[in-house]
Amino acid sequence: MGKPEIAKLGHVALVSTDLDQSLKFFKEVIGLEETTEIDGVHYLRAWGDFQHHTLSIEQGEDSYVKWIGWRTKTKDCVLGFKKLLQEANVVVEEFPMGSTPGIGNTIRFQLPSGHTFEFYYDVDKPEAASEYKSILKNQVYQAHRKGISPRRIDHVNIHTSTNANHTFDFLLDTLGFNLREYVKGDEGILAGWMSVTSLVHDVALVQKSALPSKARLHHLSYWLDNSQDILRAADILREQGIPFIGPGKHGISQAIYLYVMDPGSGCRVELFTGGYLIFEPDWEPIEWTRDEQLTVGNTYWGDSVQDKELNNITIEAR
């Protein structure tokens, strides 16, 4: 067997101090569908997500992210990553099929930044209830049935107060991510956009010196099909009286964005569309300076993501 590979971002496990508020936000405002609820944990997905869930939410005394899940390309890749990680002296925990509903045998470990990742291959792909099921065989739920209604999970953006270069090396060399765009500073890479798919990023990592704890989630992102969907999302959020940042366009990734905060957990959600795909096998990562990031990279046009209170809050990742 060759080097193990990751196929895609799978899910985020979220703990909320106000579960009712979070469920109202993600189900009715964002428009995610609930697959099931087991032992107080609610499992949600977008109308175009096929696997069991892309977000789980449960009640807790603190709001935080328990782990970020990734699906591997084959079942053997899970064991392959276990071997690689142990050879790198990384502590690996194993969980049997069913420990998380809808997910097969799993390994879980921490990045040098302190974020917890889990890898798995086997997944359940339950059909939608008949009254919500799409007539399209290549789609799970009816689109735009409620709320903003994104199509699928897109990416995560994580922050760390540690030296990010250790985590970049780990993501690129050990886990097999590809660096697509990055911000260079005197001490190395300050921010990097990395993917295992053709997306500009499945995960972004940013080094921030002043954080309440070393591992944070800046945002979880869901994909909308076009910029008109982003404008519709802004209307829905305004009607609900929920503050947001955007719409705007990133220079880095070239995507159209809108940021909104879950009032229950404090988890930021980016609604995301546009951008570009990478199909070149010899892609050369795009380098930005810190000044370029601030003047055009973060915000190319529109409502700025910089120096806004909503944008400066991050939720702990453990």
pLDDT 10s digits, 86-108: 999 999 999 999 899 999 999 99
State how many domains the chain has: 2
254 and 210, same structural domain? Answer: yes
Banded model confidence at residue 318, pLDDT cuts 50, 70, 90: confident
pTM over 0.75: yes
To the nearest whole number, what is the mean pLDDT of the chain? 95
Q: How far from the centroid of its chain's Cα atoms is residue 66's Cα?
A: 13
CA distance 251 to 302: 11
pLDDT at 309: 67
Lowest-pLDDT choice from 14-18, 93-97, 219-223, 309-313: 309-313
- Peptide bond connecting 285 to the previous residue in cis, omega within 30 degrees of 0: no
- Confirm whether 263 is domain-assigned: yes
Residues 203 and 309 grouped into a single domain = yes
With cut-offs at 50, 70 and 90, classify the pLDDT of residue 226: very high
In this prediction, residues 244-262 reach a mean pLDDT of 97
DSSP secondary structure letter of residue 126: P
Are the C-beta atoms of 203 and 153 separated by less than 8 Å?
no
Would you say residue 161 has pLDDT above 80?
Answer: yes
Let me know if residue 146 belongs to a domain: no
Which domain covers residue 47, as residue numbers? Answer: 6-120
- Of 105, 120, 135, the residue at which a domain comes to its end is 120
The verdict on 115 and 235 lying in the same domain is no
Average pLDDT rounded to a whole number, residues 61-78: 97
In the chain, at which residue ranges do the beta strands (DSSP E only) sit?
6-16, 33-38, 41-45, 55-59, 64-72, 93-95, 106-110, 116-120, 152-160, 178-185, 188-195, 203-207, 215-223, 244-249, 255-261, 268-274, 286-289, 301-302, 315-317
- pLDDT value for 307: 60
Model confidence at 71: pLDDT above 80: yes
Comparing 61-70, 207-216, 303-312, the range with the smallest average pLDDT is: 303-312
Whole-number Å distance between alpha carbons of 286 and 179: 9
| pLDDT reported for residue 211 | 87
How does residue 314 score in pLDDT terms, banded at 50, 70 and 90?
confident
pLDDT above 80 for 38: yes
Please give the pLDDT value at position 210.
Answer: 82
| Domain C-terminal end among 99, 120, 141 | 120
What is the spatial distance between Cα 292 and Cα 233, in angstroms, rounded to a whole number?
29
* Shared-domain flag, residues 37 and 106: yes
The percentage of the chain sitting over the pLDDT mark of 90, rounded to a whole number, equals: 92
Q: What is the reported pLDDT for 219?
A: 96
User: pLDDT-derived band of residue 192, with 50, 70 and 90 as boundaries?
Assistant: very high
Residue 116 sits in the same domain as residue 157: no
Q: What average pLDDT does this structure show over 233-246?
A: 97
Q: Are residues 163 and 47 in the same domain?
A: no
The answer to whether residues 95 and 175 belong to one domain is no
- In sequence order, which residues have a C-beta less than 8 Å from that of residue 130 and are 6 or more positions away? none
The pLDDT value given to residue 2:
82
Query: Which amino acid makes up residue 228?
Result: Q
